[in-house]
Amino acid sequence: MNDESIWSWETAWDVLPALLRGLVVTIEATVVGMVIASILGLLIALAMRAPTRWVRGPLRFIVDFIRMTPLLVQLVFVYLLSPPEIPALVIGFVVLGIHYATYMSEVYRAGIEAVPQGQWEAATALNLPKARTWRAIILPQAIRNTLPGLGNYAVSMFKETPFLFAISVVEMYTEAQSYGANTFSYIEPLTMVGLLFLIVSYPTSLLVRRMEIRLA
Amino acid sequence: MTTSTSSTGDVPAIEFKDVVKRFGDNVVLDKLNFSVAQGDRVTLIGPSGSGKTTILRLLMTLEEANGGLILIDGDPYTHEYKGQKWVEIPEKRRRVVRNRVGMVFQQFNLFPNMTVIENIIEAPIHVLGKSKAEAVARGEELLEQVGMSEKRDFKTNQLSGGQQQRVAIARALAMDPEILLLDEVTSALDPEIVADVLGVLREIAETTDITMLLVTHEMQFAREVSNRVLMFDQGQIVEEADPETMFTNPTHARTKEFLKAVLG
């Protein structure tokens, strides 16, 4: 068997700068997407506690709809419907953010419900207004409960950023693909994409696990 | 038993009029009537499920009555009659009355995301509108009183149960309540720590004129602190007396049976 046809260190070295550029975009998308998902997810979780069904019902439908359809389809769909002035990267941020917000809302819901009933009762006994109870007592404890979930979804969003390829955002996977298309060497770039994902997500997931243990 | 307004005050601090409370099909309080005079220290005793804790929880609006009236200083609290109709009083008006009532819980319920002092000043600042300096000064005074000054800046999960309960007492007192509800405040504590907490409460009973309503299994404490004991069974007061009489010479069969069981 011929060595160089399977793996060339030269090619690997050659593609690395492009991949690292792509990695920056990938991380950017994850961070911005996660910021959107954390804020929107919390708002959804709070709105789901609205006393009226006219808020909860439609919201439940939208959330389920987003969760039950593939991210890839959502990306392409929004991309095609959006006016061309909007950069693909921005569409990527927003769609990733909204998609994950529907999952994050579940994490927040669980986090809020995990705050013991006694905390609400103590707040009532002290006559604290509802808004203050949420802000000073319930949310700080609930958000602490959601940190591991947030971390897990960040890792999972990070791994799903290659879907941005479909709307021609030049992130890491897109860089690998275009390098392959130009040079006909796919093995090195794609292997390295996999490794780079692993290098970032594995330590992150270990960190999340440690956080889980510490908060438990 | 019906209403028993006692000697001192003109208007009772607490008055229950035909209060009904059901949990599903289970009737916990069936047209309960009783009142507590200003400055009274009343202990509720009785077997579990007799409705004692429910009374405290109704007074703290942690439960909603299904009928009847609860009056604080003569003011309707949670419900009132408009003509013949029994209607809920909106939260805004309840808040005014609720300010006069404080509660200490069996499980302490301190806020774990705050330090000891933050727990204490939270409500004085955000409910009573005190300045931070004022709230802290009063908070430190109360911590001193309950013997917790050194733990001022500790997180609550760094404290033992007894310490947490003493902070919880200080937190309730920081709101200057007219009425203090104590719901089995020593039941979750190790026996050797119970005395500390009871000591703190005894001092409050001696040095203030706060009306106290307590549910406890500590009969000795009930005897020392309270001036009236109500024996509950199945949501009704079956016997009422001063502690001395109640514990040494109960008349009702249910009381005798109950006291024999708890006192051994």
| 3-state SS class at B202 | helix
Of A116, A121, A128, the CB nearest to B126: A128
* Cα–Cα dist A154/B251, whole Å: 68
Q: Show me where the domains of chain A are located.
A: 22-215
**Which ipTM was obtained for this model?**
0.92
Question: Which pLDDT does position B86 carry in this prediction?
Answer: 93
The pair of structure tokens assigned to A201 is 């997500």
CB contact under 8 A, A128 and B122: yes
Among B113, B126, B172, select the one facing A132 at the smallest CB separation: B126
B25 is a domain residue: no
Counted residue by residue, chain A has a size of 216
Closest approach of B110 to chain A, Cα-based (Å): 7
Burial A134-149, CB ≥16 within 10 A → b, else e: bebbbbebbbebbbbb
Q: Please enumerate residues of B whose Cβ is less than 8 A from a Cβ of A.
A: 60-62, 95, 98-99, 101-103, 105, 107, 109-114, 122-123, 126-127, 171-172, 175
Q: What percent of chain A has pLDDT over 70?
A: 97
pLDDT tens-place string over residues A145-200: 888 888 899 999 999 998 988 888 888 888 888 888 888 888 888 999 999 999 98
Percentage above 70 pLDDT, chain B: 96
Below-70 pLDDT ranges, chain A: 1-5, 216
Hey, are the CB atoms on B175 and A122 less than 8 Å from each other?
Answer: no
Q: Shortest Cα distance from B122 to chain A (angstroms)?
A: 9
Q: How confident is the model at residue B129 (pLDDT cuts 50, 70, 90)?
A: very high
DSSP result, A134-187: IIIIIHHHHHHHHHHHHHHHHHHHHHHGGGGGGGT---HHHHHHHHHHHHS--H
Q: Is the pLDDT of residue B3 over 70?
A: no
Choose among A116, A132, A141: nearest Cβ to B113: A141
Q: How many folded domains does chain B comprise?
A: 1
A124 in B contact zone (CB under 8 Å): yes
Q: What is the pLDDT of residue A4?
A: 52
Q: Do strands B79-82 and B41-45 pair parallel, antiparallel, or not at all (unpaired)? A: unpaired
pLDDT, position A216: 66
Whether the pLDDT of residue B109 is over 80: the answer is yes
User: Do the strands B179-183 and B236-241 form a parallel or antiparallel pair, or are they unpaired?
Assistant: unpaired
Question: Are residues A121 and B105, on separate chains, in Cβ contact within 8 Å?
Answer: yes
Q: Which residue has the higher pLDDT, A38 or B10?
A: A38
Whether residues B99 and A127 touch (CB distance < 8 A) is answered with yes
pLDDT digit string, tens, across residues B50-98: 889 999 999 999 999 999 999 999 999 999 999 899 999 999 999 999 9
The CA distance from B102 to B19, in Å, is 20
The alpha carbons of chain A give a radius of gyration, in whole angstroms, of 21
* Alpha-carbon span A215 to B252, nearest angstrom: 52
pLDDT reported for residue A215: 75
3-class SS of residue A56: helix
Rg for chain B (alpha carbons), in Å? 18
- Looking at the complex, report in whole angstroms how far the Cα of residue B88 sits from the nearest Cα belonging to chain A: 17
Q: Is A114 on the interface with B (CB under 8 A)?
A: no
Q: Give the C-alpha separation, A49 to A53, whole Å.
A: 10
User: Which of A124, A126, A135, A146 should one mutate to test binding to chain B, selecting the residue with the greatest count of B CBs within 10 A?
Assistant: A126
The verdict on a CB contact (< 8 Å) between B105 and A118 is yes
- Indicate the CATH number for domain A22-215: 1.10.3720.10
- Phi and psi angles of residue B182, each rounded to the nearest 5 degrees, phi first: -120, 110
Show residues of chain A in contact with B123, CB under 8 Å: 126-128
Element (H, E) at B166: helix B161-173
CA distance B99 to chain A (A): 6
Is residue B10 in a domain? no
Domain that holds residue B152: 39-61+99-263
Q: Give yes or no for residue B41 having a pLDDT over 60.
A: yes
Q: What is the model's pLDDT at position A1? A: 44
Q: Does A135 touch chain B (CB under 8 A)?
A: no
- Position B177 pLDDT exceeds 50: yes
Q: Looking at the domain assignment, is residue B17 inside a domain?
A: no
Q: Tell me which chain A residues have a C-beta less than 8 angstroms from the C-beta of B58.
A: none
Q: How confident is the model at residue B1 (pLDDT cuts 50, 70, 90)?
A: very low
B75: which 2 tokens?
């003011």
- Report the CATH number that the domain containing residue B51 is assigned in CATH: 3.40.50.300
In angstroms, the Cα distances linking B148 to B4, B117, B143, B201 are 39, 10, 5, 14
Is beta strand B41-45 parallel, antiparallel or unpaired with respect to B67-72? unpaired
